[in-house]
Structure 1
Amino acid sequence: MPPLLLLPLKKPLGIAMQFARRIAGLDWRFLLLLLLLLPISLLLFLSISSSSPAANPFSNLAPLLLLRGGEAASGRGVPPPAASASASAPVRRTWKEELVRSRMAVCLVGGARRFELTGPSIVERILKVYPNSDLFLHSPFDENAFKFLLLRSAPRIAAVRIFRPEPMAESEPELRVLTARNSPNGIQGLLQYFNLVEGCLTMITSHQARHNFAYDWIVRTRVDGFWNAPLDPDNFIPGHYVVPPGSTYGGLNDRLGIGDLPTSTVALSRLSLIPQLDQAGFRQLNSETSFRAQLTTQNVTHLAKRLPFCIVTDRQYAFPPSRFGVPVAAISSKGPLSGAKCRPCTPVCRGACVEQVMPVLDKGWSWTQWDNGTLELCDAHGEWETGWEKIFDRVAGKVLAKQRKRVWNLKLNDCVSEFEKMRRRTVSWQAPAADEICKVGLGYAR
């Protein structure tokens, strides 16, 4: 027994020893009876005195013993919540701690394109920030798919589906509800994108059913998003679906969404809800307006919050942008850029220039937040400038720059080996053979 706990017992034990010496000459059976009664009397004394905290020498140890008991019970060093306000040091988990312990799915969709630039930022600033999250990847197979081997360092990989894209049938409700206007690939492009998003929901639903549980949260984002800061816990709001502001194109920015399971199920059902939108009389919607219609018709409350990511684009846009033009942010902008288009460039427009250009833009179209020096603009009317790699590496930092260089210097055998390691870590894997993915990506199959 620790000396601390023996202190209150020294005096009673001393008295008992003196008494024992005096009665040593008595019958041994009588002595044994006294020795049995002594600990019982001591326990009775402690139980009575415990009703008065000042009189109980163990009362100050109660919170410590409770904490250690909670650690032992959980096996993970997680203290139980405080039982009452009277505890001297109540233990409360932060919202971040609650999220880390929750069940979370992170859904990545889209083509790999510049994934050597964006992928490492997603791993470092979303997946590793919430290491208990399960990764789901849904992407078409093309010459860039080999870059997905960068996801091998993700803490947990639940499902990967890299599929060969095929034309999708266009139903009458879809032709009525959707419009080809401003879509690079017409209605077919919208349907392919919606299929990517809802396909990820199908993967998540299947994983839940197979393992008999339900996710608390789903984060859905695009693989071409570059994150310059971690995903903050404040963006997880029960009963609300969080989207970025700006780039709304008349509806809601659909480049990222965060919600609990019920709100996310509605938000990710991009194809399934089109018949309901048709019955409700919606016509000629683009991706953003149909997204808003999905949420409003299903009574899902949405909130717009600024988020630290941008969409890396190779597309070319006129500069300076007109009212309905598209501003392309320098990837070095402080942001948060909330999903605005970006590229690594030497900014041509800062400060006073931005203050002249941005107010011209329609705020309900491709506008993005620009005040307080948070935005710098590229002249994106041509190809990426020579030397953009150094610009990116300086902005991204050494860790992310190293990943970019590694992909560019990848050998076939190393590519195949890393894909195989990633496949073995993945619960559900649906993709072409690693050898084919790497040969197509590295130019061996052309």
Structure 2
Amino acid sequence: MKNPIKFLPHSPRRLLALDWRILLLILFPLTFLIYLSLSSTTSVSGFKSIFANTHNPIPPAHPPRIAVCLVGGARRFELTGPSIVERILRVYGNSDLFLHSPLDSNAYKLSLLKEAPRIAAVKIFVPGTIPVTEAQSRVLTAQNSPNGVQGLLQYFNLVEGCLAMIKEHQEKNNFTYDWIIRTRVDGYWSAPLGPENFVPGQYLVPPGSSYGGLNDRFGLGDFNTSVVALSRLSLVPQLDSAGLTQLNSERAFKAQLVTQKVQYTTKPLPFCVVTDRRYAFPPARFGVPVASLSSPGPLSGAKCRPCRPACSGSCVGPIMNGLAKWWSWTEWANNTLELCDAHDEWENKWEELFDNVAGFNLTSMRKNVWALEMDQCVNWFEEMRRRTAQWIAPQAREICGLGLRPK
């Protein structure tokens, strides 16, 4: 007679088979979770998705090389600098910082860039008068430029000088950057620069504040498009050859891209340009709206300051609809914009308004800069210099001494 135990539902063989099935069901998801955990720790934050929707993805073994070109004077850098560190440089932690900035009484504030993950080159220089060529005098206009054509040339020199620093660093190290992010020292970032903004073959600029051309307060592109976009001085002769005249900065910028057949696109971006300038309120058709730093945004490079909004909600539409859309207009729909009355100086206790918007980390960095003493400032710059591949700047004590006094 056959052994009936062989067919019992709870026989040892049956139990053994069930145990293995249960064990496999447990082990498979555990193994998958461990794999995901390990893969995430070996990737650079944000880079996996940068090229997810492009036609030319870069494999994870080759994370893209990014140069961050930071240009301009440091007037309110204690407010803007921490946001650049937190929301651009630390988001793309393997990016290299290139700083091109004039030496003035606020340059000591640039020492907070010691917090940047990586610094490739720093140039802090004494600006001099740039001779105006015949082509430049024909192509450019002094109208609406606070410092005339010379002001435009100084700005163009900052931008193209940063490109020269990037090229020199590439040649020394035998590689080419995949992307260049160009932003301004006076730009306050209310949120991180997202990876969806990296699109091969298209140069990204913010919408609004176009002044008849393209908003030139920020730019992002692959290396080839960026070379054209950042060549602000050297392409002026080609604009002259094309018969273009009396261009402001924004119109000249657009003409550069169009004449060189570089495709461009506009996307809203979470930053604004902190300004001390005064503007009439409410702004007329060709006036300049000044956004409150507390605006839900994104402000896409509009002028801004910390303020108690003088106009928000239903008040905003009539004012913004009265502006020339191709001039100083910025996006305001869906309650994204609050307006300051900027006809006078910054209001009392603006620091509290800023701190409420900026949050703990940025507030702490602002206070650290304000509390800087001479020796600490020198130490911060020396720390930066030790970590920087190329350093062209006066002695740290000279930079700090222009804005700080020994106690």
Confirm or deny a common fold (TM above 0.5).
Answer: yes
Residue matched to 1:237 = 199
SS at match of 2:346: coil
- Identical positions, percent: 64
Q: CA RMSD in A?
A: 2.2
* Match for residue 135 of structure 2 among 173, 179, 196: 173
Residue matched to 2:268 = 306
* Match for residue 50 of structure 2 among 68, 89, 95: 95
Matched letter for residue 308 of structure 1: P
Residue matched to 1:275 = 237
CA distance in 2, matches of 1:366, 1:78: 41
Residue matched to 1:384 = 346
SS at match of 1:348: coil
CA distance in 2, matches of 1:249, 1:77: 45
CA distance in 1, matches of 2:378, 2:42: 39
Matched letter for residue 417 of structure 1: N
Deviation at 1:94, TM superposition (A): 2.8
Matched letter for residue 49 of structure 2: T
Matching of residue 250 in structure 1 with residue 205 in structure 2: no
Output aligned runs, 1:6-25, within 5 Å.
Answer: none
* Match for residue 205 of structure 1 among 157, 163, 167: 167
Residue matched to 1:334 = 296
Residue matched to 1:120 = 82
Deviation at 1:77, TM superposition (A): 3.9
Structure of higher CA gyration radius? 1
CA distance in 1, matches of 2:405, 2:287: 36
SS at match of 2:334: helix
Residue matched to 1:148 = 110
Matching of residue 139 in structure 1 with residue 101 in structure 2: yes
CA distance in 2, matches of 1:77, 1:375: 40
Deviation by residue 1:294-319 (Cα, 9 ceiling, x = unmatched): 00000000000000000000000000
Residue matched to 1:395 = 357
SS at match of 2:365: helix
* Match for residue 329 of structure 2 among 367, 373, 389: 367
CA contact (8 A) 2:50 2:198 kept: no
SS at match of 1:421: helix
SS at match of 1:136: strand
Deviation by residue 1:355-399 (Cα, 9 ceiling, x = unmatched): 111100000000000011000000000000000000000000011
SS at match of 1:101: coil
SS at match of 1:380: coil
CA contact (8 A) 2:51 2:199 kept: no
Matched letter for residue 178 of structure 1: L
- Extract unaligned runs of 5+ from structure 1: 1-56, 80-91
Output aligned runs, 1:150-165, within 5 Å.
Answer: 150-165=112-127
TM-score w.r.t. the length of structure 1 is 0.79
CA distance in 2, matches of 1:344, 1:262: 37
TM-score w.r.t. the length of structure 2 is 0.87
Deviation by residue 1:114-156 (Cα, 9 ceiling, x = unmatched): 0000000000000000001000000000000000011101110
Matched letter for residue 90 of structure 2: K
Residue matched to 1:87 = none
Matched letter for residue 140 of structure 1: P
SS at match of 1:353: helix
Output aligned runs, 1:384-423, within 5 Å.
Answer: 384-423=346-385
CA distance in 2, matches of 1:244, 1:398: 28
- Extract unaligned runs of 5+ from structure 2: 1-23, 53-57
CA distance in 2, matches of 1:188, 1:444: 35
CA distance in 1, matches of 2:92, 2:336: 27
* Match for residue 281 of structure 2 among 301, 319, 333: 319
CA distance in 2, matches of 1:253, 1:411: 38
Deviation by residue 1:296-352 (Cα, 9 ceiling, x = unmatched): 000000000000000000000000000000000000000000000000000010111
CA distance in 2, matches of 1:347, 1:186: 32
Residue matched to 1:292 = 254
CA distance in 2, matches of 1:93, 1:375: 32
SS at match of 2:141: coil
CA distance in 2, matches of 1:383, 1:122: 25
Residue matched to 2:188 = 226
RCO comparison, higher one (Cα < 8 Å, 6+):
2
